[in-house]
A and B are shown apart, each in its own frame.
Chain A
Amino acid sequence: MQAARSQSSPARSRSRTGSWRPASGHVFVSGYVVLLALFGLVPALYSLYLAFTDASGKFSGVKNFTRSAKDYRFIPAVQHVAVYLVLWLVTLTIFVVLLALVVHRLTSRRTKAVLRFVYYVPGALAGASSVLLWLFVLDPAVSPVSKLLRWTGNDNFAQVIVPNHLPAVFTIIAFWTGAGGWIVVLYGALNTIPTELMEAARVDGANAVQTALRIQLPMLRKWIAYMLILSLAAGTQLFVEPQLVSQASFGIVGNDYSVNQLAYQYAFSQNDFNGSAAISIDLLIVALICAGFFVARGRLFETD
């Protein structure tokens, strides 16, 4: 198992013998290890190599990073993504927590199940399909909520997707496809709170709001943090939404709105793979920090 061996550090792997002996377990994991190497580790390492070299393959230090960060499009792209993330994470937290708590309090089990499913269904639409659907829903000419759009001062599609509106538009799309899944997760977490505890709170005269604030929310804290970290990591990768909006926007929205789009432009419009790799590494670091934080600190994933 050459692949597994190369990833090992003797200090990390606790084992019974302390030397590398082949075992039948290695045969079982071999296929997965090959894929993990080819599509998890190698791309990341190859990116690193590209990010620190120039077009001719010579080592170039942090030149690619400084060059791409100084690009006049880079800071705006980071700002766009940051604004979207703040709006999206705040919206997500408030409404997912509220909906999970409210659905959990309902008495009819059937209603609860139906509601959880209804909130979850849009999860079936992701990627380009959900963005397209929302392009229509946000076009006052055909929208089922055109009155609402006109009432908020948007008479045509071009007014809806001005750059200032985009963080809100992307938040709506992301919430529509993703919130239901998190509602199901938090609902499940609420079910793990011992019934005796909830009973005791009620006997002590706590009402629904007090119970939510004093018992349920502290119990949910870990899950909310988990939701935020993962949504943050995924949100930094924003690509398909601005890409399609810019395509449909008559040039109102550029094709370099998000950081990932910029990385894409570097690779495919400018043939600058080194600069593209540098931006990819920037994003990869954010994602790795988020994931690493959880594996290191979170007690959600107890491995053994």
Chain B
Amino acid sequence: MSQATLSAAARARTARPADRTRGSAARISSRGLITLFLLVFVAFFLVPILWLLLAATKSPSNLVSGHAFSIGSWHDLRTNWNHLMRFQDGAVKTWMKNSVIYAVGSLIITLLVSVPAGYAMAKMDFHGRRLLLITTLVVMLMPSAALVLPTFLELNYAHLINTPLSVILPFSFFPFGVYLTYIYFSTAVSADLLAAAKLDGCGDFKAFFYVGLPLATPIIALVAFFSFVGNWNNFFLPYVMLPGSGQYPMQVGLTQMLASTPTFNPVVGADAEVQPPELILATLLSVAPVLIIFLFSQRFLVSGLTAGGTKE
């Protein structure tokens, strides 16, 4: 889900209970069609994920000859896992570790930078505020890929290519996060509350630390979620910034594994380094953290996305 999609979601208003419509007898036949339509899409969205989970438990030969939706064996899953961990002397562990470092490192910087910025844009008056807001909107609506090659040229000039900073710093720039905190503080923290704090002798900084920050927990969680998911899944930027395999995040590592898989690269030959089920397991591993986060935040994702955000 793109940042832009989410920004739209963040703007949509709180859900009202939809009106209930009663199906009359004439609608029964169209009901069957509607159910079929919905189920076709359920299958479309879910079947690939289910298949991926099952395929990781199969041996290479079972993957080809067995039934697509049969379950493999515990033994085959372990064999796949062991082979995967041995790939290029444990490259997968390194890549996963890099992914964590990049995603978490930039997440921390993003939060440190965007919470105060969003707060100030919502609750303080300073020169250039409106300009900053408009710039933020424009950059937020642009696909992040648009600036990848230009950013490479810039960081190349600064001799930062192939360092963790070349990924963490661009990842930390997250205008959508600033926009979300701005929207949140505009509505969640009332002017009266801040005025009261000022009367009690709080300066701007104290008011932020004692009034703004304690109220910011939900928005910190939301920005953290979007930032982590976006950075974890980002392929293009690290692909361009990090030529060395030792620095790859998992997303880029997957492409190296793809190049060593005989199904997709006949040049590799029979004693290939990677068998298809191992590549499938690697794909599963690469999405596991995000998938787990998704499942845990299910309620907040489908309802919370559409809650709040507009000022009537």
Contact = CB atoms under 8 A, between A and B. Distances in A.
Are the chains A and B members of one assembly?
yes
Interface of A: 1, 4-5, 7-9, 12-16, 20-21, 23-26, 28-29, 31-33, 35-36, 38-40, 42-44, 46-47, 50, 95, 98-99, 102-105, 107, 109, 112-113, 115-129, 132-137, 139, 141-146, 157, 176-178, 180-182, 184-185, 187-192, 195, 198-199, 202, 208, 223, 226-227, 230, 233-234, 236-237, 239-240, 243-244, 247-248, 250, 260, 263-264, 267, 273, 276-277, 280, 283-284, 287-288, 290-292, 294-295, 300-304
A13 B131 contact: yes
B117 A31 contact: yes
Contacts of A40: 135, 139, 147, 173, 175
B12 A188 contact: yes
B124 A24 contact: yes
B91 interface: no
A39 B170 contact: yes
Contacts of A295: 134, 137-138, 141
Nearest to B143: A234
- B interface, over-half SS: helix
Given A4-B132, A142-B55, A230-B4, A188 B15 contact: yes
A230 B2 contact: yes
A141 B141 contact: no
Contacts of B136: 36
B118 to A, nearest CB: 8
Interface string B152-186: 11100100000000000110110100100000000
Contacts of A125: 49, 233, 287, 290-291
B152 A267 contact: yes
A294 B141 contact: yes
Contacts of B251: 127-129
A35 B137 CA distance: 15
Given A142-B276, A181-B2, A157 B173 contact: no
B78 interface: no
B260 to A, nearest CB: 11
Nearest to A15: B127
A276 B130 CA distance: 33
B2 A116 contact: no
Given A5-B128, A25-B129, 17 more contacts: A4-B128, A9-B131, A13-B129, A14-B130, A31-B112, A33-B117, A39-B173, A103-B38, A121-B45, A123-B1, A144-B47, A146-B68, A185-B8, A198-B19, A230-B4, A230-B8, A264-B240
A78 to B, nearest CB: 16
A121 B141 contact: no
A137 B175 contact: no
B259 A113 contact: no
Contact of B139 (A8, A36, A136): A36
A128 B14 CA distance: 34
Contacts of A98: 37
A118 B46 contact: yes
A133 B251 CA distance: 12
B130 A12 contact: yes
Nearest to A136: B280
Interface string B22-40: 0000000000001001100
Interface in B187-245: 203-205, 208, 229, 233-236, 239-240
Contacts of B263: 139, 141-142, 157
Given A128-B255, A264-B240, A301-B137, A25 B124 contact: yes
A43 B150 contact: yes
Contacts of A277: 149-150, 153
B142 interface: yes
A29 B120 contact: yes
B151 interface: yes
Contacts of A7: 128, 131-132, 135
A237 B143 contact: yes
Given A12-B131, A40-B175, A157-B263, A24 B205 contact: yes
B86 interface: no
B205 A178 contact: no
A134 B254 CA distance: 14
A118 B41 CA distance: 9
Contact of B234 (A127, A146, A243, A263): A127
For the complex of A and B, 3 pairs with smallest distance between CB atoms: A25-B126, A188-B306, A188-B12
Given A181-B5, A291-B141, A187 B306 contact: yes
A128 B251 CA distance: 6
Contacts of A227: 5, 8
Nearest to A300: B11
